[in-house]
Amino acid sequence: MIVNKETIMELAAQGKRLDGRQMTEYRQPISMDLEISWTAEGSAKVTLGETVIMAGVKLSLEKPYNDTPDQGGIMINAELTPMSSSEYESGPPGIKAIELARVIDRGIREAKAIDMKQLCVTPGEKAWFVSIDIISINDAGNLFDASGLAVLAALKSTRFPVVDPVTGSINYKEKTDKKLPLLKEPISVTVYKINGQLLVDPSPQEEKSYQARLTVASDKNAIISAMQKGGEGPLTSEEITQMVDLALEKGEFLRGELNKFVK
């Protein structure tokens, strides 16, 4: 809506937002439900304001890649369902879904969040592979941050299934107490630049009005593991510094929210 876009830009210059929030304020409620799926090894549903995202973790035993015979692997796939927004269609993933999956994947992978070597069962023959699915239930903006939270919560709730010691087949109906070897917990925060001002947790209308955005994944020691810049507008180095600072601060906030729900 062009009228709203103009208004959003005008308000941003004064440090205000269309829905009356502060520039750096997340929508409430932020809530998480864990283990929502029986068939997944780990799953979570995250609600961020009106945005709802589900993530599921599935474990399987596969042959490791030839260049990393002593390591397992991770795959992330995102699906933006037509029920979550009128802009999405069923069929092969579009550019938004691909970017979402890759940004979340990079945050987890480059932080070395999962100890891949511990996933290996027999070097060169058998290792655990972690495949994560992200499904949007309702897109009311800020899918990046919501998906990052959902994936991390799902990973934290993951339990390995029982493996038959003789045949080596997996009994997915029973779970052990063994958790995924998580070394770090990267949380991604996306900072948007609208009319020269920085803000977080955009509404769908704000997502149509931004010039540039930067997704920053960081762990609890504020070590940055991945960044992704989006949008057509340029960013100065000062702006990037400000965005990273804001992302680290908000990452800490989201980590606090996550810890309320995940033990």
What residues make contact with other proteins under the rule CB under 8 A? 1-4, 6-7, 10-11, 16-20
Q: Give the shortest CB-200-to-other proteins separation in angstroms.
A: 18
> Strands 224-230 and 212-218: what pairing?
antiparallel
**What residues have CB less than 8 Å from 63, skipping those under 6 apart?**
124, 125, 126, 127
What phi and psi, each to the nearest 5 degrees, are found at residue 81? -80, 150
The region that residue 45 occupies, defined by phi over 0 for left and psi between -120 and 50 for alpha, beta otherwise, is beta
Structure tokens at 39: 């068939």
Q: Give the shortest CB-14-to-other proteins separation in angstroms.
A: 8
Q: Give the shortest CB-8-to-other proteins separation in angstroms.
A: 9
Using the minimum distance from each CB to other proteins, give the nearer residue, 4 or 197. Answer: 4
Q: Give the shortest CB-203-to-other proteins separation in angstroms.
A: 12
Q: Give the shortest CB-11-to-other proteins separation in angstroms.
A: 6
Nearest to 189, CA basis, from 239, 238, 144, 220: 144
Using the minimum distance from each CB to other proteins, give the nearer residue, 20 or 165. Answer: 20
In order, the DSSP letters of 49-78 are TTEEEEEEEEEEEEPPPTT-TT--EEEEEE
Using the minimum distance from each CB to other proteins, give the nearer residue, 11 or 98. Answer: 11
Give the CA distances from residue 82 to residues 30, 77, 89, 100, in Å, rounded to whole numbers and listed in that order.
Answer: 23, 16, 5, 16
Using the minimum distance from each CB to other proteins, give the nearer residue, 50 or 174. Answer: 50
209 DSSP 8-state letter? T
Q: Give the shortest CB-111-to-other proteins separation in angstroms.
A: 38
Using the minimum distance from each CB to other proteins, give the nearer residue, 50 or 62. Answer: 50
117 DSSP 8-state letter? G
In order, the DSSP letters of 150-200 are HHHHHHHT-EEEEE-TTT--EEEEEEEEEEP-B----EEEEEEEETTEEEE
Helices and strands per DSSP (H, E), number in the chain:
5, 12
Structure tokens at 139: 């897109």
Using the minimum distance from each CB to other proteins, give the nearer residue, 19 or 174. Answer: 19
Q: Give the shortest CB-48-to-other proteins separation in angstroms.
A: 19
Q: Give the shortest CB-197-to-other proteins separation in angstroms.
A: 14
Using the minimum distance from each CB to other proteins, give the nearer residue, 77 or 138. Answer: 138
Task: Specify the 3-state DSSP secondary structure of 79.
Answer: strand
Using the minimum distance from each CB to other proteins, give the nearer residue, 2 or 166. Answer: 2
